[in-house]
Amino acid sequence: MTEESARSTDQAGLMPALHRLQDQLGYLPDHAIAQLAQAHNVSRAEVIGVIGFYHDFRRTPPGRRRLQVCRAESCQAMGSERLAAHICRQLGVDFGATTADGAVTLEAAYCLGNCACSPAIMLDGKLYGRVTAERLDALLTEEQPA
């Protein structure tokens, strides 16, 4: 095995390792990035580049609830921009941030696959369609699933 083929084999396992780690910890802390880089024979900058490229990876702890708002064209045409503005006002955060109390992390999604029922959101892994500001407020005030 050549050095280059060994390196590509090491790199091939990086994505699954990032997913496993985030599933375990909820995010990718700095100390883990250094360990992953060493284990996969890549630089820290390469690992950080991969994390930054994919929207699903987080470098900070998430809120207790995860709210994703579809920002794709179909949802935009059906009012997701107004919904997004409402959400940001209500939560007091912008996309990519977590509320000060750690309750909700707000994330942009670029298609939730629910175009026929736009605008769509995903809250705590559950997909909702035809979401209005009022419906969203009600969903956020419901008891968080255990």
Residues flagged as binding site: 70, 75, 111, 115
| Residue owning tokens 């599933």 | 23
Query: Could you give the CA distance from residue 15 to residue 25 in angstroms, rounded to a whole number?
Result: 15
Query: Could you give the CA distance from residue 45 to residue 95 in angstroms, rounded to a whole number?
Result: 24
Q: Annotated binding site for [2Fe-2S] cluster: which residue ranges?
A: 70, 75, 111, 115
Q: Measure CA of the first residue to CA of the last residue in the chain; give whole Å.
A: 49
